Structure 1
Amino acid sequence: MTKLIQTDKEAFIALATAKMPFGKYKGLRLVDLPERYLVWFSQKGFPEGKLGEMLRAVYEIKLNGLEYLFR
């Protein structure tokens, strides 16, 4: 159980500190991306791989009003 909690904690920290690697918002933390930008990705398709997974997670967090978890 401790291993699972540690893995979740590490994944959450990685998500909270990850930065957008390209585009208009390059260098901005994913959690600070405007919601409209994440909605656009949700409609057009998230990128493949780890970045897409992280953007999808941030989208779901913001969609459910949980962004306070990152403060």
Structure 2
Amino acid sequence: MLQPDKDFLIKLAHTKMPFGKYKDRFLIDLPEYYIVWYHNKGFPKGKLGEMLETIYTVKLNGLEDLIRNIKKQYPK
């Protein structure tokens, strides 16, 4: 996976799930089991899939606070 750039991380911190059971929840706040389910099933194509895959990596490495801090430092 490529290193995400600053703008990508800021957008990631502010992006909400656009559909489904967790619609309107910030991606970083999605339950871990849900992200793992997507990892096993296959992430959606496009930007959302790229973001969910990044969230998977963030959660896998215990870096959720990094994204939450970005959200606080760069409010929308």
Q: Which of 15, 18, 21 is the matching residue for 2:15?
A: 18
TM-score (norm 1): 0.86
Q: CA deviation at 1:70?
A: 2.0
Q: Which residue does 1:51 correspond to in 2?
A: 48
Q: CA deviation at 1:11?
A: 0.9
Q: Which residue does 1:63 correspond to in 2?
A: 60
CA-atom RMSD in angstroms: 1.2
Q: CA deviation at 1:28?
A: 0.4
Structure number having the greater helix percentage: 1
SS of residue in 1 equivalent to 2:43: coil
Structure 1 consecutive aligned stretches of length 4 or more whose deviation exceeds 2 Å: none
Q: Which residue does 1:39 correspond to in 2?
A: 36
Provide structure 1 residue ranges, at least 5 long, that are not aligned to the other structure: 1-6
Code of the aligned partner of 2:58? I
Task: Give the length in aligned residue pairs.
Answer: 65
Code of the aligned partner of 2:10? I
TM-score (norm 2): 0.81
Q: Deviations over 1:35-69 (max 9, x none)?
A: 00000000011001000000000000000111110
Q: Which has the larger radius of gyration?
A: 1
Provide structure 2 residue ranges, at least 5 long, that are not aligned to the other structure: 69-76
Code of the aligned partner of 2:29? D
Relative contact order (C-alpha < 8 Å, sep 6+): which is higher?
Answer: 2
